[in-house]
C-alpha cells in the first residue's frame, strides 16, 4: 500500500506541483524531491518483496531481509540528505533567517520523528497484541501498525519538503 501511495505522490507532484505557475521549483528541489520519493518507493518495494517471499526458503528469506534493510537504510538516507540539503542551502551568515526557518520547520521535523518513534515502540513492545493475545493475529498487529506509521511519517516528510521548497521558491534566502 505504501508503495502505491508514493507512486501517487510522484504522479501528483509531476502533474500538479511542478507545472504550478505560482511556485517556481528550482531544478535541485525537483531532483531532491524525486530522489526522496524514489527512495521511499524502493523502501516500500523491498519490504513488499521481503514479506511476500520470506516463506520460500531460509536463503531467500535472508536475502530479501537484507534487501528490506537496504531499502529502510535508503529511506533514512533520503530523509537525512534532504535535511542537509535544505538546512545548508543559504549562506551561513544569514543566522537570523536560519533561526526563523528552524523555528518554523522544527515542529514538523519533531512530529515526523515522534510518529517514527511511536511506530518503533509499538513494534518493539509488540503492542497491542501483547495486551490482548489472539485479537490482533490478522489485523492491527504491531508490525502492521509499524508499517502504517512509517508510511505516514514518510508522507509527512515529503509534505514538509514541499513546504520548504515552496517557501524557498517564494522568499529565496531572505525572509
What are the pLDDT digits (tens) for 103-139?
A: 777 898 899 999 999 999 999 999 999 999 999 988 9
Q: How far apart are CA 95 and CA 101, in angstroms?
A: 10
- pLDDT value for 77: 95
Q: Is 159 annotated as a binding residue?
A: no
Q: Is 158 annotated as a binding residue?
A: no
pLDDT band per the 50, 70, 90 thresholds, residue 92: low
* H/E segment holding residue 174: none
pLDDT at 23 over 60: yes
Q: How far apart are CA 49 and CA 28, in angstroms?
A: 31
Q: How far apart are CA 31 and CA 100, in angstroms?
A: 25
Q: Are 69 and 124 in contact (CB under 8 A)?
A: no
The model's pTM = 0.87
Amino acid at each position: 500500500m505504501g508503495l502505491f501511495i508514493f507512486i501517487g505522490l510522484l504522479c501528483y507532484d509531476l502533474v500538479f506541483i511542478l507545472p504550478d505557475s505560482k511556485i517556481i521549483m528550482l531544478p535541485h528541489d525537483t531532483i531532491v524531491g524525486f530522489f526522496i520519493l524514489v527512495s521511499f518507493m524502493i523502501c516500500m518495494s523491498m519490504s513488499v518483496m521481503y514479506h511476500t517471499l520470506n516463506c520460500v526458503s531460509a536463503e531467500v528469506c535472508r536475502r530479501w531481509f537484507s534487501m528490506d534493510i537496504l531499502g529502510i537504510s535508503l529511506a533514512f538516507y533520503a530523509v537525512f540528505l534532504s535535511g542537509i540539503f535544505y538546512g545548508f542551502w543559504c549562506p551561513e551568515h544569514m543566522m537570523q533567517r536560519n533561526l526563523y526557518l528552524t523555528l518554523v520547520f522544527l515542529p514538523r521535523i519533531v512530529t515526523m520523528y515522534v510518529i517514527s518513534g511511536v511506530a518503533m515502540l509499538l513494534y518493539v513492545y509488540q503492542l497491542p497484541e501483547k495486551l490482548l493475545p489472539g485479537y490482533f493475529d490478522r489485523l492491527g498487529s504491531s508490525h502492521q501498525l509499524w508499517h502504517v506509521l512509517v508510511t505516514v511519517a514518510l508522507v509527512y516528510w515529503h509534505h514538509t519538503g514541499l513546504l520548504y521548497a515552496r517557501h524557498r521558491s517564494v522568499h529565496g534566502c531572505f525572509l
